[in-house]
Structure 1
Amino acid sequence: MSQLSRLISILTLLKSKRLLTATELAQKYDVSVRTIYRDIRKLEEAGVPVYTIEGRGYSLVDNYTVAPVQFTEKQANALITAQHIVNQSKDVSFVNDFSDAMTKIKSVFRTSIQEKSELLSDKIRVFNWHFEEFTSDALSEIQLAITNFNYIEIDYQKLGDTNITFRKIEPCAMYSAELKWILVAWCHLRNDYRAFRIDRIRHFKILSEKFEDRNFSIKDYFASCPFEDK
């Protein structure tokens, strides 16, 4: 990667993330920390308002705007392909929100790339041979609860169980398996972490009440070989 390409990429990352350390950037671009220091100075010399928080990393001054991003044809194709995969999701809110986001993204495609991406879209099909009637419409709201640390109250029905149980949970993370979205949460009924299939949540309510961050690590969670609370 050329220095110019790296500078543009670093600028885009700084705009999209609150804080980035020199070490994180060096690892991402496979360069030395000294090289990152020089890159940051280049950005500053070009008038980019980068500021340093001692011991924490780099960020940009609030409200600084970056020129519209230009997508290559391969990047546009990757997004078009991703949309076809997302459309197989069993959560309506996720599909709709991604579609709205893609409409905005496509608006910055160059005309030639937009025409080719539409051509490619007509030539892609993604099949799901394991059909299930269960769907959900909660993913987008639950994602907000995860990042804002809001409690959720749910009525949950396990697989093969006619009973519905009430749970108050602290949403921590989510993953997808076989086109099903799984929510990992601290369950106050079980007093432990549990995994809930989102399509089996019969009713949910996001509470304004906040919970304290338990510093949940999804990597450590999977290392313990958890089982879904089906």
Structure 2
Amino acid sequence: MSQLSRLINILTLLKSRRVLTATELSKRYDVSIRTVYRDIQKLIASGVPVVTLEGKGYTLMDGYTVAPVQFTEKQANALITAHHLVNKSKDASFVKDFEEALIKIKSVFRSSVLEKSEILHSKIHVFEPQQENLASNSLSELQLAITNLNYVEINYRKANDTHISFRKIEPYVFFSTENKWILLAWCHLRNEYRAFRVDRIQHFKILSEKFVDRKFNIQDYFAAQAYAYKKRNPTET
């Protein structure tokens, strides 16, 4: 059983208003006591109010309920499939936040839907060609900078270049291609829109200072890129 599946099962037991001990959970899922402790901390980090009753075990905080949302089996399957695709992302923050969200979502699945979703989870595989072994851990934070119009300072290294440049940027849009996240932003060093591979950002700092939205349009951006390429290569058809 995967950690995510175990967390959902523990949460389901807690929702039944049971008091669970670490020893009981350890035996039920055939894991160590230390693993149970980590699971409980993972639930707490996901926003689930797990309370420790001294000398008794774990339970949920009084009054805690989940939203009365019902998912169909197809909707649950879509989430399970998305989970497999997200796991291929090279950004650790994005994977972590999705898994924590999925814990909360799966906690409202009907038992029959939850059981079938676990079956499907083991029957989906995503393969990908060998790619650069680069990873990032900044996507979730940079997404907040986009929605809140915060300036970001970055240290950036281009491909095949050992030089790291300092940039102050206005982040606008993310897109993904070949499992790589690309950030389109206004670069104050170059005084124009630039594309930055997120896995090549060596360090970043989100500033409290806000920028004025330039109303960036991704279609206009790609049209301008295509026009500039055509001017540089007039003989290509």
Same fold (TM over 0.5): yes
| Residues 1:201 and 2:201 are matched in the alignment | yes
Question: 1:216 Cα deviation (Å)?
Answer: 0.9
Moved >4 Å (runs of 4+): none
For 1:104, give the aligned amino acid. K
Question: 1:133 Cα deviation (Å)?
Answer: 1.3
For 2:97, give the aligned amino acid. D
Please show how residues 163-174 of structure 1 align to structure 2 within 5 Å: 163-174=163-174
Q: CA RMSD in A?
A: 1.5
Distance 2:216 2:130 in 1: 32
Cα displacement string for residues 103-128 of structure 1 (whole angstroms, at most 9, x for unaligned residues): 11101111000000010001111112
Distance 1:111 1:162 in 2: 53
Cα displacement string for residues 100-154 of structure 1 (whole angstroms, at most 9, x for unaligned residues): 0111110111100000001000111111213321100000000000000000000
SS in 2 for 1:112: helix
Higher-Rg member (1/2):
2
Structure 2 match to 1:179: 179
SS in 1 for 2:175: strand
For 2:94, give the aligned amino acid. F
Distance 1:154 1:136 in 2: 13
Structure 2 match to 1:105: 105
Structure 1 match to 2:144: 144
Structure 2 match to 1:89: 89
Please show how residues 126-137 of structure 1 align to structure 2 within 5 Å: 126-137=126-137
Which sections of structure 1, spanning at least 5 residues, go unmatched?
A: 1-66
For 1:120, give the aligned amino acid. L
Please show how residues 34-113 of structure 1 align to structure 2 within 5 Å: 68-113=68-113
SS in 1 for 2:225: coil
SS in 2 for 1:214: coil
For 1:168, give the aligned amino acid. K
Structure 2 match to 1:190: 190
Which sections of structure 2, spanning at least 5 residues, go unmatched?
A: 1-66, 229-237
Distance 2:209 2:86 in 1: 31
SS in 1 for 2:135: coil
Question: 1:192 Cα deviation (Å)?
Answer: 0.2
Distance 1:107 1:222 in 2: 41
SS in 2 for 1:225: helix
Identity %: 68
Structure 2 match to 1:221: 221
Question: 1:163 Cα deviation (Å)?
Answer: 0.3
Question: 1:155 Cα deviation (Å)?
Answer: 0.3
* TM-score normalized by the length of structure 2: 0.66
Distance 1:219 1:147 in 2: 19
* TM-score normalized by the length of structure 1: 0.68
Distance 1:85 1:158 in 2: 27
For 2:187, give the aligned amino acid. C
Distance 1:90 1:128 in 2: 12
Cα displacement string for residues 29-66 of structure 1 (whole angstroms, at most 9, x for unaligned residues): xxxxxxxxxxxxxxxxxxxxxxxxxxxxxxxxxxxxxx
Distance 2:225 2:123 in 1: 39
